[in-house]
Structure 1
Amino acid sequence: MTTVQGPTVGRRRLRSALRRARDAAGMTQEQVAAAMDWSLSKLIRIEAGSVSISTNDVKALLHHYRMTDPRQVAELVELARVSRRRAWWAPYKDSLPASYAALIGLEAEAVALRFFQAAGIPGLLQTESYARAIFAAAAPPEQAGPGDVDIAVEIRLRRQREVLRRPDPPTIQVVLDEATLHRQTGGAACLREQLRHLVAMASATNVTIQVLPFTATDYAVAAPFTILEFADRDDTDVVYVEAAMLQDVIDNPEAVKPYQVMFPRLQEKSLAPAQSLALIASIAGELD
Protein backbone atom coordinates (compact mmCIF):
# COMPACT_ATOMS: atom_id res chain seq x y z
CA MET A 1 0.00 0.00 0.00
CA THR A 2 1.36 3.41 -1.01
CA THR A 3 1.98 5.78 1.89
CA VAL A 4 -0.82 8.27 2.47
CA GLN A 5 0.13 11.67 3.81
CA GLY A 6 -3.19 13.53 4.02
CA PRO A 7 -6.44 12.98 5.93
CA THR A 8 -8.80 13.23 2.94
CA VAL A 9 -7.14 10.49 0.88
CA GLY A 10 -6.55 8.46 4.04
CA ARG A 11 -10.24 8.56 4.92
CA ARG A 12 -11.24 7.75 1.35
CA ARG A 13 -8.98 4.71 1.20
CA LEU A 14 -10.02 3.55 4.67
CA ARG A 15 -13.73 3.69 3.87
CA SER A 16 -13.19 1.47 0.79
CA ALA A 17 -11.10 -1.00 2.77
CA LEU A 18 -13.67 -1.24 5.57
CA ARG A 19 -16.49 -1.84 3.10
CA ARG A 20 -14.47 -4.60 1.43
CA ALA A 21 -13.70 -6.16 4.83
CA ARG A 22 -17.38 -6.18 5.79
CA ASP A 23 -18.36 -7.70 2.44
CA ALA A 24 -15.66 -10.37 2.83
CA ALA A 25 -17.07 -11.19 6.27
CA GLY A 26 -20.54 -11.58 4.72
CA MET A 27 -22.17 -9.06 7.05
CA THR A 28 -24.76 -6.35 6.47
CA GLN A 29 -24.42 -2.83 7.83
CA GLU A 30 -27.35 -3.50 10.15
CA GLN A 31 -25.67 -6.60 11.59
CA VAL A 32 -22.38 -4.83 12.18
CA ALA A 33 -23.97 -1.77 13.77
CA ALA A 34 -25.92 -3.96 16.16
CA ALA A 35 -22.87 -6.07 17.06
CA MET A 36 -20.70 -2.97 17.67
CA ASP A 37 -23.50 -1.25 19.62
CA TRP A 38 -23.36 1.65 17.15
CA SER A 39 -26.17 3.45 15.45
CA LEU A 40 -26.63 2.40 11.85
CA SER A 41 -26.07 6.00 10.78
CA LYS A 42 -22.59 5.97 12.39
CA LEU A 43 -21.49 2.97 10.33
CA ILE A 44 -23.01 4.43 7.18
CA ARG A 45 -21.12 7.69 7.70
CA ILE A 46 -17.86 5.81 8.35
CA GLU A 47 -18.25 3.74 5.19
CA ALA A 48 -19.17 6.88 3.23
CA GLY A 49 -16.02 8.61 4.48
CA SER A 50 -18.01 11.54 5.84
CA VAL A 51 -16.65 11.07 9.38
CA SER A 52 -13.36 9.78 10.75
CA ILE A 53 -13.02 6.71 12.95
CA SER A 54 -10.74 6.19 15.93
CA THR A 55 -7.93 3.67 15.81
CA ASN A 56 -9.56 1.72 18.67
CA ASP A 57 -12.83 1.50 16.75
CA VAL A 58 -10.97 0.29 13.67
CA LYS A 59 -9.24 -2.43 15.68
CA ALA A 60 -12.56 -3.53 17.18
CA LEU A 61 -14.26 -3.49 13.78
CA LEU A 62 -11.52 -5.56 12.14
CA HIS A 63 -11.61 -8.03 15.03
CA HIS A 64 -15.36 -8.40 14.43
CA TYR A 65 -14.65 -9.00 10.74
CA ARG A 66 -12.17 -11.70 11.75
CA MET A 67 -9.31 -9.98 9.96
CA THR A 68 -6.19 -11.52 11.54
CA ASP A 69 -3.37 -10.55 9.14
CA PRO A 70 -1.17 -8.27 11.29
CA ARG A 71 0.10 -6.35 8.25
CA GLN A 72 -3.41 -5.60 6.96
CA VAL A 73 -4.61 -4.57 10.41
CA ALA A 74 -1.61 -2.29 10.89
CA GLU A 75 -2.17 -0.63 7.51
CA LEU A 76 -5.82 0.12 8.25
CA VAL A 77 -5.07 1.37 11.75
CA GLU A 78 -2.47 3.71 10.24
CA LEU A 79 -5.05 4.94 7.70
CA ALA A 80 -7.38 5.71 10.60
CA ARG A 81 -4.60 7.62 12.31
CA VAL A 82 -3.82 9.60 9.14
CA SER A 83 -7.49 10.36 8.49
CA ARG A 84 -7.74 12.11 11.86
CA ARG A 85 -4.80 14.44 11.31
CA ARG A 86 -5.52 18.14 11.39
CA ALA A 87 -5.27 19.54 7.86
CA TRP A 88 -3.96 23.01 7.08
CA TRP A 89 -7.43 24.11 5.97
CA ALA A 90 -9.08 23.06 9.24
CA PRO A 91 -9.14 26.65 10.61
CA TYR A 92 -11.15 27.65 7.53
CA LYS A 93 -13.62 24.77 7.78
CA ASP A 94 -16.62 26.99 8.52
CA SER A 95 -15.84 29.04 5.39
CA LEU A 96 -15.61 26.06 3.02
CA PRO A 97 -18.37 24.06 1.35
CA ALA A 98 -17.82 20.36 2.07
CA SER A 99 -17.13 19.59 -1.59
CA TYR A 100 -14.49 22.33 -1.82
CA ALA A 101 -12.78 21.09 1.33
CA ALA A 102 -12.77 17.59 -0.19
CA LEU A 103 -11.17 18.96 -3.36
CA ILE A 104 -8.41 20.65 -1.36
CA GLY A 105 -7.64 17.42 0.45
CA LEU A 106 -7.67 15.29 -2.68
CA GLU A 107 -5.56 17.58 -4.85
CA ALA A 108 -2.93 17.69 -2.10
CA GLU A 109 -2.09 14.06 -2.92
CA ALA A 110 -3.05 13.80 -6.58
CA VAL A 111 -0.27 12.88 -9.00
CA ALA A 112 -2.14 14.33 -11.98
CA LEU A 113 -4.77 17.04 -12.41
CA ARG A 114 -6.70 17.58 -15.63
CA PHE A 115 -8.76 20.76 -15.89
CA PHE A 116 -11.39 21.82 -18.37
CA GLN A 117 -12.51 25.42 -17.99
CA ALA A 118 -15.40 26.77 -20.01
CA ALA A 119 -15.23 30.04 -18.08
CA GLY A 120 -12.51 31.37 -15.84
CA ILE A 121 -9.03 30.09 -15.00
CA PRO A 122 -8.30 27.06 -12.79
CA GLY A 123 -7.83 28.16 -9.19
CA LEU A 124 -4.33 26.71 -8.95
CA LEU A 125 -3.20 28.94 -11.83
CA GLN A 126 -4.87 32.19 -10.80
CA THR A 127 -3.04 35.37 -9.85
CA GLU A 128 -4.00 37.00 -6.58
CA SER A 129 -5.69 39.89 -8.39
CA TYR A 130 -7.69 37.59 -10.62
CA ALA A 131 -8.75 35.40 -7.69
CA ARG A 132 -9.84 38.47 -5.74
CA ALA A 133 -11.94 39.70 -8.68
CA ILE A 134 -13.55 36.26 -9.05
CA PHE A 135 -14.53 36.07 -5.38
CA ALA A 136 -15.68 39.68 -5.24
CA ALA A 137 -17.99 39.06 -8.20
CA ALA A 138 -19.35 35.87 -6.62
CA ALA A 139 -20.02 37.56 -3.26
CA PRO A 140 -21.64 41.00 -3.72
CA PRO A 141 -20.98 43.41 -0.81
CA GLU A 142 -24.59 43.22 0.37
CA GLN A 143 -24.25 39.43 0.78
CA ALA A 144 -20.63 38.96 1.83
CA GLY A 145 -19.51 39.03 5.43
CA PRO A 146 -16.54 41.08 6.66
CA GLY A 147 -13.34 39.63 5.27
CA ASP A 148 -15.03 36.85 3.26
CA VAL A 149 -13.19 37.72 0.06
CA ASP A 150 -9.87 38.04 1.90
CA ILE A 151 -10.32 34.60 3.45
CA ALA A 152 -11.27 33.04 0.10
CA VAL A 153 -8.19 34.53 -1.57
CA GLU A 154 -5.96 33.44 1.32
CA ILE A 155 -7.21 29.86 0.99
CA ARG A 156 -6.69 29.89 -2.78
CA LEU A 157 -3.12 31.12 -2.52
CA ARG A 158 -2.35 28.58 0.20
CA ARG A 159 -3.76 25.84 -2.06
CA GLN A 160 -1.37 26.93 -4.78
CA ARG A 161 1.63 26.78 -2.46
CA GLU A 162 0.66 23.40 -1.02
CA VAL A 163 0.18 21.78 -4.44
CA LEU A 164 2.55 23.55 -6.82
CA ARG A 165 5.52 23.91 -4.46
CA ARG A 166 5.48 20.48 -2.90
CA PRO A 167 8.54 18.25 -3.58
CA ASP A 168 6.57 16.11 -6.06
CA PRO A 169 4.12 18.49 -7.80
CA PRO A 170 1.41 16.85 -9.90
CA THR A 171 1.28 16.76 -13.67
CA ILE A 172 -1.19 19.45 -14.72
CA GLN A 173 -3.04 19.45 -18.04
CA VAL A 174 -5.41 22.31 -18.79
CA VAL A 175 -7.92 22.90 -21.57
CA LEU A 176 -9.28 26.46 -21.64
CA ASP A 177 -12.20 27.52 -23.76
CA GLU A 178 -11.00 30.51 -25.79
CA ALA A 179 -13.75 32.59 -24.19
CA THR A 180 -11.85 32.48 -20.88
CA LEU A 181 -9.03 34.44 -22.51
CA HIS A 182 -11.29 37.35 -23.41
CA ARG A 183 -13.51 37.69 -20.34
CA GLN A 184 -12.06 40.75 -18.62
CA THR A 185 -12.51 39.60 -15.05
CA GLY A 186 -11.18 42.38 -12.83
CA GLY A 187 -10.58 44.61 -15.85
CA ALA A 188 -8.09 44.63 -18.72
CA ALA A 189 -4.97 45.01 -16.55
CA CYS A 190 -6.03 42.14 -14.30
CA LEU A 191 -6.67 39.86 -17.27
CA ARG A 192 -3.38 40.82 -18.92
CA GLU A 193 -1.48 39.90 -15.76
CA GLN A 194 -3.39 36.62 -15.54
CA LEU A 195 -2.72 35.63 -19.15
CA ARG A 196 0.99 36.35 -18.81
CA HIS A 197 1.00 34.31 -15.62
CA LEU A 198 -0.45 31.36 -17.57
CA VAL A 199 2.33 31.60 -20.13
CA ALA A 200 4.92 31.67 -17.33
CA MET A 201 3.31 28.70 -15.55
CA ALA A 202 3.36 26.66 -18.76
CA SER A 203 7.16 26.91 -18.84
CA ALA A 204 7.24 24.28 -16.07
CA THR A 205 7.70 20.74 -17.36
CA ASN A 206 4.69 19.48 -15.41
CA VAL A 207 2.20 22.05 -16.78
CA THR A 208 0.54 21.86 -20.20
CA ILE A 209 -2.04 24.41 -21.32
CA GLN A 210 -4.18 24.13 -24.45
CA VAL A 211 -6.85 26.44 -25.81
CA LEU A 212 -10.11 25.13 -27.25
CA PRO A 213 -10.68 27.67 -30.06
CA PHE A 214 -13.95 29.27 -31.05
CA THR A 215 -13.70 27.30 -34.29
CA ALA A 216 -13.86 23.92 -32.51
CA THR A 217 -16.85 21.86 -33.62
CA ASP A 218 -19.14 19.43 -31.77
CA TYR A 219 -18.43 21.03 -28.43
CA ALA A 220 -21.13 20.35 -25.85
CA VAL A 221 -19.46 20.47 -22.42
CA ALA A 222 -21.44 22.76 -20.12
CA ALA A 223 -19.58 22.93 -16.80
CA PRO A 224 -15.92 23.14 -15.77
CA PHE A 225 -14.50 19.95 -14.31
CA THR A 226 -11.28 18.62 -12.83
CA ILE A 227 -10.11 15.01 -12.96
CA LEU A 228 -7.80 14.01 -10.12
CA GLU A 229 -5.56 10.96 -10.43
CA PHE A 230 -3.63 9.20 -7.67
CA ALA A 231 -0.54 7.01 -7.47
CA ASP A 232 -2.14 4.01 -5.80
CA ARG A 233 -4.37 1.71 -7.87
CA ASP A 234 -6.79 1.50 -4.95
CA ASP A 235 -7.42 5.25 -5.24
CA THR A 236 -9.61 5.56 -8.31
CA ASP A 237 -9.95 8.84 -10.19
CA VAL A 238 -12.17 11.57 -8.79
CA VAL A 239 -13.96 14.36 -10.65
CA TYR A 240 -14.71 17.78 -9.21
CA VAL A 241 -17.49 19.65 -11.01
CA GLU A 242 -17.95 23.36 -10.47
CA ALA A 243 -20.88 25.33 -11.82
CA ALA A 244 -22.29 28.74 -10.92
CA MET A 245 -24.38 27.43 -8.02
CA LEU A 246 -22.98 23.93 -7.58
CA GLN A 247 -19.81 22.21 -6.44
CA ASP A 248 -19.67 18.44 -6.36
CA VAL A 249 -17.11 15.66 -5.92
CA ILE A 250 -17.79 12.53 -7.98
CA ASP A 251 -15.91 9.36 -7.10
CA ASN A 252 -18.15 6.62 -8.45
CA PRO A 253 -16.02 5.03 -11.21
CA GLU A 254 -18.99 4.71 -13.58
CA ALA A 255 -19.92 8.37 -13.10
CA VAL A 256 -16.29 9.43 -13.53
CA LYS A 257 -15.81 7.52 -16.79
CA PRO A 258 -17.60 10.02 -19.12
CA TYR A 259 -15.22 12.75 -17.97
CA GLN A 260 -12.22 10.49 -18.55
CA VAL A 261 -13.47 9.92 -22.09
CA MET A 262 -14.32 13.58 -22.71
CA PHE A 263 -11.03 15.16 -21.67
CA PRO A 264 -8.77 13.67 -24.38
CA ARG A 265 -11.43 14.53 -26.95
CA LEU A 266 -11.29 18.14 -25.82
CA GLN A 267 -7.50 18.04 -26.08
CA GLU A 268 -7.76 16.75 -29.65
CA LYS A 269 -10.03 19.65 -30.60
CA SER A 270 -7.72 22.16 -28.94
CA LEU A 271 -4.72 24.01 -30.32
CA ALA A 272 -1.31 22.46 -29.69
CA PRO A 273 0.42 23.72 -26.53
CA ALA A 274 2.82 26.01 -28.44
CA GLN A 275 -0.01 27.49 -30.52
CA SER A 276 -2.08 27.91 -27.40
CA LEU A 277 0.61 29.85 -25.55
CA ALA A 278 1.20 32.02 -28.60
CA LEU A 279 -2.52 32.86 -28.67
CA ILE A 280 -2.60 33.61 -24.95
CA ALA A 281 0.44 35.88 -25.26
CA SER A 282 -1.08 37.63 -28.28
CA ILE A 283 -4.33 38.36 -26.48
CA ALA A 284 -2.38 39.64 -23.47
CA GLY A 285 -0.44 41.94 -25.77
CA GLU A 286 -3.64 43.39 -27.18
CA LEU A 287 -4.61 44.44 -23.65
CA ASP A 288 -1.60 46.76 -23.29
Structure 2
Amino acid sequence: MSSELVRLRQEKNLKQETVARALDWSPSKLIRIEGGSVGISTTDLQALLRQYGIADEDPLMARLIELARGARERGWWSSYSRELSSDPAYLAFLGYEYGASRIKHFGLAVMPALLQTEDYAKALTRQYVSEERADMLVTVRMLRQEKLLERDPSPEQAFVLDEGVIRRRVGRSIDPKIMPNQLKHLLELQSSRPYLTVQVIPFEVGAHFGMTGNFAVLEFEGALGPVLYLENSRGGALTVTGRDPEIVNYNSAFETLRETALTPEASRELIERVIAKMG
Protein backbone atom coordinates (compact mmCIF):
# COMPACT_ATOMS: atom_id res chain seq x y z
CA MET A 1 0.00 0.00 0.00
CA SER A 2 2.61 2.60 1.07
CA SER A 3 4.89 1.65 -1.85
CA GLU A 4 2.02 2.28 -4.29
CA LEU A 5 1.45 5.74 -2.86
CA VAL A 6 5.14 6.54 -3.24
CA ARG A 7 5.06 5.28 -6.83
CA LEU A 8 2.03 7.40 -7.74
CA ARG A 9 3.61 10.54 -6.30
CA GLN A 10 6.90 9.93 -8.06
CA GLU A 11 5.15 9.33 -11.37
CA LYS A 12 3.73 12.85 -11.04
CA ASN A 13 7.21 14.20 -10.17
CA LEU A 14 5.83 15.69 -6.97
CA LYS A 15 7.79 16.30 -3.79
CA GLN A 16 6.35 15.32 -0.42
CA GLU A 17 6.35 18.94 0.72
CA THR A 18 4.35 20.02 -2.34
CA VAL A 19 1.68 17.36 -1.83
CA ALA A 20 1.42 18.00 1.90
CA ARG A 21 1.03 21.76 1.35
CA ALA A 22 -1.74 21.22 -1.22
CA LEU A 23 -3.67 19.04 1.26
CA ASP A 24 -2.95 21.33 4.22
CA TRP A 25 -1.06 18.48 5.91
CA SER A 26 2.22 18.60 7.73
CA PRO A 27 5.05 17.04 5.68
CA SER A 28 5.65 14.59 8.54
CA LYS A 29 2.13 13.19 8.11
CA LEU A 30 2.76 12.22 4.49
CA ILE A 31 6.22 10.89 5.35
CA ARG A 32 4.72 8.60 8.01
CA ILE A 33 1.98 7.41 5.64
CA GLU A 34 4.47 6.64 2.85
CA GLY A 35 6.78 4.97 5.34
CA GLY A 36 3.99 2.69 6.52
CA SER A 37 4.37 3.71 10.15
CA VAL A 38 0.78 4.97 10.33
CA GLY A 39 -2.43 4.05 8.57
CA ILE A 40 -4.51 6.38 6.42
CA SER A 41 -8.22 7.09 6.63
CA THR A 42 -10.46 6.61 3.61
CA THR A 43 -11.11 10.37 3.45
CA ASP A 44 -7.41 11.24 3.50
CA LEU A 45 -6.63 8.54 0.94
CA GLN A 46 -9.28 9.86 -1.46
CA ALA A 47 -7.91 13.38 -1.10
CA LEU A 48 -4.36 12.15 -1.69
CA LEU A 49 -5.25 10.14 -4.77
CA ARG A 50 -7.16 13.06 -6.27
CA GLN A 51 -3.95 15.08 -5.98
CA TYR A 52 -2.35 12.41 -8.16
CA GLY A 53 -5.11 12.65 -10.75
CA ILE A 54 -6.98 9.49 -9.75
CA ALA A 55 -10.73 9.98 -10.23
CA ASP A 56 -13.28 8.64 -7.74
CA GLU A 57 -14.68 6.24 -10.34
CA ASP A 58 -11.22 4.88 -11.26
CA PRO A 59 -10.88 1.18 -10.26
CA LEU A 60 -7.49 2.09 -8.76
CA MET A 61 -9.24 4.35 -6.25
CA ALA A 62 -11.53 1.50 -5.11
CA ARG A 63 -8.67 -0.97 -4.92
CA LEU A 64 -6.44 1.23 -2.78
CA ILE A 65 -9.32 2.12 -0.47
CA GLU A 66 -9.91 -1.61 0.00
CA LEU A 67 -6.22 -2.12 0.81
CA ALA A 68 -6.28 0.77 3.29
CA ARG A 69 -9.26 -0.71 5.10
CA GLY A 70 -7.56 -4.10 5.22
CA ALA A 71 -4.37 -2.56 6.58
CA ARG A 72 -6.30 -1.16 9.54
CA GLU A 73 -7.55 -4.63 10.46
CA ARG A 74 -5.31 -6.94 12.43
CA GLY A 75 -4.24 -9.89 10.34
CA TRP A 76 -3.68 -13.31 11.93
CA TRP A 77 0.09 -12.75 11.67
CA SER A 78 -0.11 -9.69 13.96
CA SER A 79 -0.38 -12.04 16.94
CA TYR A 80 3.23 -13.07 16.21
CA SER A 81 4.67 -9.59 15.65
CA ARG A 82 6.74 -9.76 18.85
CA GLU A 83 8.10 -13.25 18.17
CA LEU A 84 8.94 -12.34 14.56
CA SER A 85 10.26 -8.84 15.28
CA SER A 86 13.79 -9.95 14.36
CA ASP A 87 12.63 -10.70 10.81
CA PRO A 88 10.37 -7.83 9.70
CA ALA A 89 10.64 -8.84 6.04
CA TYR A 90 9.07 -12.21 6.81
CA LEU A 91 6.32 -10.63 8.89
CA ALA A 92 5.48 -8.22 6.07
CA PHE A 93 5.56 -11.10 3.59
CA LEU A 94 2.91 -13.01 5.56
CA GLY A 95 0.50 -10.12 5.10
CA TYR A 96 1.19 -9.84 1.38
CA GLU A 97 0.94 -13.60 0.91
CA TYR A 98 -2.48 -13.72 2.55
CA GLY A 99 -3.82 -11.11 0.11
CA ALA A 100 -2.18 -12.45 -3.05
CA SER A 101 -4.21 -13.75 -5.96
CA ARG A 102 -1.28 -15.73 -7.41
CA ILE A 103 1.62 -17.33 -5.55
CA LYS A 104 4.69 -18.54 -7.44
CA HIS A 105 7.34 -20.33 -5.40
CA PHE A 106 10.60 -21.98 -6.36
CA GLY A 107 12.28 -24.42 -3.96
CA LEU A 108 15.94 -25.35 -4.37
CA ALA A 109 16.95 -27.27 -1.26
CA VAL A 110 13.85 -27.53 0.92
CA MET A 111 10.12 -27.96 0.42
CA PRO A 112 8.31 -24.59 0.19
CA ALA A 113 6.60 -23.72 3.48
CA LEU A 114 3.09 -23.88 2.03
CA LEU A 115 3.65 -27.53 1.06
CA GLN A 116 5.34 -28.79 4.22
CA THR A 117 3.86 -31.29 6.64
CA GLU A 118 4.20 -30.44 10.32
CA ASP A 119 6.70 -33.26 10.91
CA TYR A 120 8.86 -32.12 7.98
CA ALA A 121 8.70 -28.51 9.16
CA LYS A 122 9.79 -29.46 12.69
CA ALA A 123 12.64 -31.67 11.52
CA LEU A 124 13.89 -28.93 9.23
CA THR A 125 13.48 -25.90 11.49
CA ARG A 126 15.12 -27.49 14.53
CA GLN A 127 18.35 -27.70 12.54
CA TYR A 128 19.00 -23.97 12.81
CA VAL A 129 17.03 -22.50 15.76
CA SER A 130 16.25 -23.52 19.32
CA GLU A 131 13.46 -26.04 19.85
CA GLU A 132 11.22 -23.41 21.46
CA ARG A 133 11.59 -20.96 18.55
CA ALA A 134 11.27 -23.80 16.06
CA ASP A 135 7.91 -24.76 17.53
CA MET A 136 6.70 -21.17 17.16
CA LEU A 137 7.90 -20.94 13.56
CA VAL A 138 6.23 -24.24 12.69
CA THR A 139 2.97 -23.03 14.26
CA VAL A 140 3.12 -19.93 12.05
CA ARG A 141 3.88 -22.08 9.03
CA MET A 142 0.87 -24.32 9.62
CA LEU A 143 -1.33 -21.25 10.14
CA ARG A 144 -0.16 -19.85 6.79
CA GLN A 145 -1.43 -22.98 5.11
CA GLU A 146 -4.69 -23.03 7.06
CA LYS A 147 -5.53 -19.37 6.43
CA LEU A 148 -4.87 -19.62 2.71
CA LEU A 149 -7.03 -22.74 2.54
CA GLU A 150 -9.90 -20.78 4.12
CA ARG A 151 -9.77 -18.08 1.46
CA ASP A 152 -12.53 -17.97 -1.14
CA PRO A 153 -11.57 -17.84 -3.90
CA SER A 154 -8.31 -19.61 -3.24
CA PRO A 155 -5.19 -17.99 -4.69
CA GLU A 156 -3.56 -19.74 -7.63
CA GLN A 157 -0.42 -21.50 -6.44
CA ALA A 158 2.40 -22.70 -8.69
CA PHE A 159 5.42 -24.48 -7.24
CA VAL A 160 8.59 -25.48 -9.06
CA LEU A 161 11.00 -27.72 -7.15
CA ASP A 162 14.52 -28.78 -7.90
CA GLU A 163 14.79 -32.58 -7.83
CA GLY A 164 17.00 -32.33 -4.74
CA VAL A 165 13.97 -31.15 -2.75
CA ILE A 166 12.11 -34.42 -3.23
CA ARG A 167 15.16 -36.66 -2.76
CA ARG A 168 16.70 -35.18 0.40
CA ARG A 169 15.70 -37.37 3.38
CA VAL A 170 14.80 -34.58 5.79
CA GLY A 171 14.10 -36.01 9.25
CA ARG A 172 15.40 -39.50 8.51
CA SER A 173 17.35 -39.71 11.78
CA ILE A 174 14.16 -38.85 13.68
CA ASP A 175 11.68 -40.96 11.73
CA PRO A 176 12.36 -42.52 8.31
CA LYS A 177 8.69 -42.01 7.41
CA ILE A 178 8.85 -38.21 7.56
CA MET A 179 10.06 -37.72 4.00
CA PRO A 180 7.90 -40.39 2.30
CA ASN A 181 4.89 -38.94 4.12
CA GLN A 182 5.88 -35.46 2.99
CA LEU A 183 5.96 -36.59 -0.63
CA LYS A 184 2.62 -38.37 -0.28
CA HIS A 185 1.22 -35.13 1.11
CA LEU A 186 2.55 -33.36 -1.96
CA LEU A 187 0.68 -35.77 -4.23
CA GLU A 188 -2.51 -35.33 -2.21
CA LEU A 189 -2.30 -31.57 -2.60
CA GLN A 190 -1.90 -31.96 -6.36
CA SER A 191 -4.97 -34.19 -6.54
CA SER A 192 -7.29 -32.27 -4.22
CA ARG A 193 -6.55 -28.65 -5.14
CA PRO A 194 -7.11 -27.73 -8.80
CA TYR A 195 -5.64 -24.26 -8.24
CA LEU A 196 -2.28 -25.75 -7.15
CA THR A 197 0.42 -27.15 -9.44
CA VAL A 198 3.74 -28.80 -8.61
CA GLN A 199 6.53 -29.29 -11.15
CA VAL A 200 9.99 -30.75 -10.67
CA ILE A 201 13.19 -29.79 -12.47
CA PRO A 202 15.19 -33.03 -12.90
CA PHE A 203 18.91 -33.16 -12.19
CA GLU A 204 19.63 -33.89 -15.85
CA VAL A 205 18.61 -30.34 -16.79
CA GLY A 206 21.86 -29.12 -15.27
CA ALA A 207 22.39 -25.52 -14.13
CA HIS A 208 19.39 -23.19 -13.95
CA PHE A 209 18.41 -19.81 -12.51
CA GLY A 210 16.79 -21.39 -9.45
CA MET A 211 20.19 -22.46 -8.15
CA THR A 212 20.46 -18.98 -6.62
CA GLY A 213 18.03 -20.16 -3.91
CA ASN A 214 14.40 -20.27 -2.82
CA PHE A 215 12.21 -17.36 -3.86
CA ALA A 216 8.55 -16.41 -4.11
CA VAL A 217 6.72 -13.95 -6.34
CA LEU A 218 3.27 -12.77 -5.28
CA GLU A 219 0.82 -11.17 -7.70
CA PHE A 220 -2.34 -9.24 -6.92
CA GLU A 221 -5.56 -8.19 -8.59
CA GLY A 222 -5.85 -4.47 -9.13
CA ALA A 223 -3.15 -1.87 -8.84
CA LEU A 224 -0.74 -3.40 -6.36
CA GLY A 225 2.44 -4.52 -8.09
CA PRO A 226 4.08 -7.90 -7.52
CA VAL A 227 6.11 -8.70 -4.42
CA LEU A 228 9.38 -10.63 -4.38
CA TYR A 229 10.63 -12.58 -1.36
CA LEU A 230 14.08 -14.15 -1.27
CA GLU A 231 14.11 -16.83 1.40
CA ASN A 232 16.79 -18.47 3.50
CA SER A 233 16.97 -20.28 6.83
CA ARG A 234 17.85 -17.15 8.79
CA GLY A 235 15.28 -14.80 7.30
CA GLY A 236 14.42 -13.15 4.04
CA ALA A 237 14.58 -10.02 1.92
CA LEU A 238 11.33 -8.45 0.74
CA THR A 239 10.99 -6.22 -2.32
CA VAL A 240 7.63 -4.54 -2.71
CA THR A 241 8.00 -2.23 -5.69
CA GLY A 242 6.36 -3.79 -8.70
CA ARG A 243 8.55 -1.84 -11.12
CA ASP A 244 11.79 -2.99 -9.53
CA PRO A 245 13.90 -4.69 -12.25
CA GLU A 246 14.74 -7.47 -9.79
CA ILE A 247 11.08 -8.43 -9.52
CA VAL A 248 10.72 -8.43 -13.30
CA ASN A 249 13.80 -10.65 -13.62
CA TYR A 250 12.62 -13.16 -11.01
CA ASN A 251 9.10 -13.27 -12.40
CA SER A 252 10.45 -13.96 -15.88
CA ALA A 253 12.89 -16.54 -14.49
CA PHE A 254 10.07 -18.38 -12.73
CA GLU A 255 8.18 -18.78 -16.00
CA THR A 256 11.36 -20.10 -17.63
CA LEU A 257 11.79 -22.57 -14.77
CA ARG A 258 8.22 -23.79 -15.29
CA GLU A 259 8.98 -24.40 -18.96
CA THR A 260 12.21 -26.20 -18.03
CA ALA A 261 10.53 -28.43 -15.44
CA LEU A 262 8.66 -31.65 -16.04
CA THR A 263 4.93 -31.31 -16.59
CA PRO A 264 2.74 -31.71 -13.48
CA GLU A 265 1.85 -35.24 -14.65
CA ALA A 266 5.47 -36.27 -15.27
CA SER A 267 6.48 -34.64 -11.98
CA ARG A 268 3.89 -36.75 -10.19
CA GLU A 269 5.28 -39.91 -11.73
CA LEU A 270 8.80 -38.97 -10.63
CA ILE A 271 7.63 -38.27 -7.07
CA GLU A 272 5.86 -41.64 -6.96
CA ARG A 273 9.09 -43.37 -8.04
CA VAL A 274 11.05 -41.55 -5.34
CA ILE A 275 8.51 -42.59 -2.70
CA ALA A 276 8.78 -46.21 -3.81
CA LYS A 277 12.59 -46.13 -3.42
CA MET A 278 12.29 -44.66 0.07
CA GLY A 279 10.11 -47.54 1.16
Tell me if TM exceeds 0.5.
yes
- From 96, 104, 122, the equivalent of 1:106 is 96
The answer to whether the aligner puts 1:121 opposite 2:114 as a matched pair is: no
The answer to whether the aligner puts 1:185 opposite 2:170 as a matched pair is: yes
* Aligned-pair CA distance for 1:138: 2.1
The answer to whether the aligner puts 1:89 opposite 2:77 as a matched pair is: yes
- From 226, 230, 241, the equivalent of 1:237 is 226
| CA–CA separation in structure 2 for the residues paired with 1:216 and 1:242 | 23
Match of 1:136 in 2: 126
Match of 1:9 in 2: none
Question: Structure 2 vs 1, CA of residues 50 and 274 (structure 1 numbering), >3 Å: closer, same or farther?
Answer: farther
The answer to whether the aligner puts 1:201 opposite 2:189 as a matched pair is: yes
Match of 1:7 in 2: none
**Does the CA contact (< 8 Å) of 1:36 and 1:61 recur in 2?**
no
| Letter paired with 1:167 | D
* Aligned-pair CA distance for 1:182: 1.8
Question: Structure 2 vs 1, CA of residues 225 and 49 (structure 1 numbering), >3 Å: closer, same or farther?
Answer: same
The answer to whether the aligner puts 1:36 opposite 2:25 as a matched pair is: yes
| Letter paired with 2:183 | L
The answer to whether the aligner puts 1:277 opposite 2:265 as a matched pair is: no
| CA–CA separation in structure 1 for the residues paired with 2:10 and 2:251 | 30
- Cα deviations by residue, 1:69-110 (Å, 9 ceiling, x for unpaired): 665798466543332111111111112221112221112121
State the Cα RMSD in Å.
2.8
**Does the CA contact (< 8 Å) of 2:9 and 2:15 recur in 1?**
no
Match of 1:250 in 2: 239
Question: Structure 2 vs 1, CA of residues 242 and 43 (structure 1 numbering), >3 Å: closer, same or farther?
Answer: same
* Aligned-pair CA distance for 1:125: 0.8
Helix, strand or coil for the counterpart of 1:163? helix
Helix, strand or coil for the counterpart of 1:184? coil
Match of 1:173 in 2: 158
Question: Structure 2 vs 1, CA of residues 134 and 61 (structure 1 numbering), >3 Å: closer, same or farther?
Answer: same
**Which runs of 5 or more structure 1 residues have no equivalent in the other structure?**
1-11, 142-146
Question: Structure 2 vs 1, CA of residues 20 and 137 (structure 1 numbering), >3 Å: closer, same or farther?
Answer: same
Helix, strand or coil for the counterpart of 2:127? helix
Q: How many residues align?
A: 266
* Aligned-pair CA distance for 1:162: 0.9
| CA–CA separation in structure 2 for the residues paired with 1:119 and 1:250 | 22
- Cα deviations by residue, 1:2-37 (Å, 9 ceiling, x for unpaired): xxxxxxxxxx2x65246525865x641134457523
- From 221, 245, 259, the equivalent of 1:268 is 259
**Does the CA contact (< 8 Å) of 1:113 and 1:228 recur in 2?**
yes
Helix, strand or coil for the counterpart of 2:208? coil
TM-score in terms of structure 2 length: 0.83
- Cα deviations by residue, 1:162-221 (Å, 9 ceiling, x for unpaired): 112322111111111111112221113111110110011111211111111110134243
**Does the CA contact (< 8 Å) of 2:199 and 2:261 recur in 1?**
yes
Q: Give aligned-pair identity as a percent.
A: 33
Match of 1:286 in 2: 277
TM-score in terms of structure 1 length: 0.81
Question: Structure 2 vs 1, CA of residues 154 and 257 (structure 1 numbering), >3 Å: closer, same or farther?
Answer: same
